[in-house]
Chain A
Amino acid sequence: MKEMNPIKVLIIDDEAPAREILKHYLKNHPDLQLTGECPDGFAGLKAIREINPDLVLLDIQMPRLTGFEMLEVMDENPLIIFTTAYDQYALKAFEMNATDYLMKPISAERFNDAIAKAREKLAAGKESITRAADVIEKRPSDAPSLSRVVVKKGSNINIVPVENINYIEAQDDYVMLYYSGGKALKQQRMKFYEETLPPGQFVRIHRSYIVRVDAIARLEPYGKETYVTVLKSGEKLPVSKSGYKLLKDELSF
C-alpha cells in the first residue's frame, strides 16, 4: 500500500463520553488523523473553517445549532457521518448524501463500516454533501413547524426566530430572508418555507413572496382587481390573484 496523506477527522458532539468512544474507535485506523473535537455547533463551524477536515463525525442534537443547521451554513465540503441516538433523522441524513448514519450506542463494527465507506468516497474523488436546498423533505403531516432559521452574514452565523422574519423573496435558486435586523440569502426553495413555516403566521402572497401576516400594515388596490400589500416597514409587495385569496382566508375580510 502506498503512503497517503492521512484523512483529517473532526468530532463534533456535545457529550464528552460520546466523543471519547469515537476517539477510541479511531485509534484502530492509523490512516485517520484526529484533528480536533468540538462540544457544539458554533465551535464546530469554526474548526471546520480552520482545519478543513476530510471527514466530520457529527452529532445532530446540540446546543444552539443542530448538526443539520450547521450544514446549511457551511462552505466547506467534508464527508459527514452522523452520530445520534435518534432514528427519525436517518432519511433526511441520507437524502443529504451523508456518508453514514451511526446510531448510539455505536458498535465498533458499524463504526468501521462507516469509515470504510468514507475511505471509498474519498478515494473515488470528493463528493460533496448535498445541501438542504436540494433535499425534497418528506415531512410527516404532524411534523412540528419551523421555529428558527440559521443564516450566515459574512462570517457570522445568526439564528433568526421565525417571528422575526418579515418576508421572504424568491431569487432564482435562493431565497432572500428579510428579518428584523437585516436580510440574508439562503440556498433553499420557496416551497420549503411555504410548507414548514407555522401555518397561520405566514402567507404566500405571490409566486415570489411569502409574508408574515403580522408584518402587514394594509392592502392597497393596484390597477384593476389587483393589490399590493404594504408592510409596517413601508415596503410594498405585489399580491397575486391566488395570494389575494389566501390572504382573504387568513385575515377573513
Chain B
Amino acid sequence: MGHPVFESRTKTVIWWLAWLLLGAGQSLLFYYTHDADIMLTVTDGFVSMMIYSVLALASWYPVSFFNKQISKTSGLIFNLIAVSAGLVIIWLLLSRLIINAIFPEPGLYSDYWNNTFIYRAGLGVLICILVLLTYYLIISYKRLSDKKLEESRLENLLKETELKMLRSQINPHFLFNSLNSVSSLTITNPDKAREMVIKLSDFMRYALSRKDEQPVTLGRELENLRLYLDIEKTRFGERLTTAEDITEECLDARIPNMLLQPLYENAIKHGVHESTGVVNITTSIRCTRQILEIVISNNYDPEAVLPSGTGTGLVNVQRRLELSYGKEASLTTEKSNGQFIARLKMPVLK
C-alpha cells in the first residue's frame, strides 16, 4: 500500500495544514501559559511540529508493515507501543537539538524547554495517538473498500460465466440429424446437399462465434435463425412451414445473440416432432421506441401427450433475459386453441 498522504494533492495539503495548525496551537498554548519570548515560542512551535510531521509521515511504514505481517493482536499492540515510544522520543530529541541550534544563547532555550517539557511530552503522546488512529482508520477503510471491490468483481465474473453457460448450446442431435439429411441428399439431390452444407456452416459459424458475445442486431439474429429453420425444413419437408410478420424498423434493435434459437428449437421439438400434420411457426415482431416485442407461435397436435422431458430451453432464455435486463424483460408462454405462443418483451437497445 502506498503512503496515503501522497495519494492525492488534497490529502497532502490537508496533512500539512493540520500540522501548521498544530504548530500554531503549540505556540499559542506555550506563549500564554509560560510567558516566554514570542519569537522563541512561535519558532519552537512550528519547527517542532514540522519535525513531528516528517517523523509521523515516516511512521506510516512500520505501522502498515506490522499490520500486514503480525496477525496476533497482542504482538501488534506491543509493536505499536514501541513505534509510538520511538516516535515521541526521537521527536523530543530532534526538536531539542535543532531548536537549540537556532537559539544558541545559553540558558534561553533550555529554560523554556525545561518549563514546558511535561506539556510537550503530553502533547507528543496525544498527537502520536491521533496519527496512529488516523492511519488505522485509513487501513481498515481501504480493506473494506478492497473487499467490496473484490466482491463486485466476483459477482460480475459469476454473471458473465452464467451468461456464457446459458448461451444457447446447439443440440448435438440437430447436428447429427442434419448431417444424416445431407448424406442422403448427396445421392438424391447433390445441389440441395451442397446448399444445406453451406447453410449449416453459416449457421454454425454464427452459433459458435465467440466474437458475438455482445448484443447483435435483431436483423442479424433473424438472418441466422432463418438458416436454422431452412435446415430443419429440409429434414422435415412439408411438415414444417414458417411465416414472418416483422416491422422493419425493429431490425436495428440489439439483442443477445442466439437468444431466440431455443424458442424455435422448442417449437420444433414440441410441434413438429410430436405432430404428423403440418406445423407452422410464425414470428411476429413489433416495437416502440422503448419496447421490443417478439412473438413466436406454433400450432401443435393437441392430442399428443408429450413424452417426458423438461423445457430447459425456455428456462435458459428466461434466465438470460434476467441477467441481461433485470426485471425490464420478460418471457411468457401460453397455450390456446392448439397454438403455443412464446412472447418476449424487452427494452430496445440500439
Supply 20 A–B pairs (Cβ within 8 Å), ascending by A.
A15-B180, A15-B181, A15-B237, A16-B237, A17-B234, A18-B177, A18-B181, A24-B184, A42-B276, A63-B276, A64-B274, A64-B301, A85-B173, A85-B180, A86-B173, A103-B176, A104-B176, A105-B176, A147-B306, A148-B306
Q: Is A40 an interface residue (CB 8 A)?
A: yes
The listed residue (A42, A86, A103, A148) touching B307 by CB distance below 8 A is A148
B1-17 Cβ-contact flags toward A at 8 Å (1 or 0): 00000000000000000
Query: Chain B residue with minimal CB distance to A106?
Result: B180
Query: Chain A residue with minimal CB distance to B172?
Result: A85
A21 and B239 CA atoms in complex are apart in Å by 19
State the B residues within 8 Å of A (CB): 172-173, 176-177, 179-185, 187-188, 234-237, 239, 273-276, 301, 304-310
A180 and B235 CA atoms in complex are apart in Å by 37
Q: Is A66 an interface residue (CB 8 A)?
A: yes
The answer to whether A104 and B177 have CB atoms under 8 Å apart is yes
Tell me, rounded to whole Å, the shortest Cβ–Cβ distance linking A41 to chain B: 9
Query: Chain B residue with minimal CB distance to A163?
Result: B305
Q: Is A161 an interface residue (CB 8 A)?
A: yes
Q: Is A144 an interface residue (CB 8 A)?
A: yes
The listed residue (B180, B185, B236, B310) touching A104 by CB distance below 8 A is B180
Q: Mostly helix, strand, loop or mixed at chain A's interface?
A: loop
The answer to whether B276 and A39 have CB atoms under 8 Å apart is yes
Q: Mostly helix, strand, loop or mixed at chain B's interface?
A: helix
Given contacts A16-B237, A17-B184, A39-B276, contact A146 B308 (CB under 8 A): yes
User: How extensive is the interface on chain A, given as a class?
Assistant: 20 to 34
The answer to whether A105 and B187 have CB atoms under 8 Å apart is no
Q: Is A242 an interface residue (CB 8 A)?
A: no
Report how many A-B pairs have Cβ atoms within 8 Å: 82
A61-87 Cβ-contact flags toward B at 8 Å (1 or 0): 101101000000000000000000110
A86 and B174 CA atoms in complex are apart in Å by 10
The answer to whether B273 and A104 have CB atoms under 8 Å apart is no
The answer to whether B234 and A144 have CB atoms under 8 Å apart is no
Q: Is A217 an interface residue (CB 8 A)?
A: no
The answer to whether B181 and A17 have CB atoms under 8 Å apart is yes
Q: Is A136 an interface residue (CB 8 A)?
A: no
A148 and B274 CA atoms in complex are apart in Å by 13
Contacts of A86 in B (CB 8 A): 173
Query: Chain A residue with minimal CB distance to B239?
Result: A14
The answer to whether B274 and A15 have CB atoms under 8 Å apart is no
The answer to whether A85 and B306 have CB atoms under 8 Å apart is no
Given contacts A61-B273, A85-B173, A85-B177, contact A17 B185 (CB under 8 A): yes
A75 and B201 CA atoms in complex are apart in Å by 44
Given contacts A15-B235, A86-B173, contact A105 B301 (CB under 8 A): no
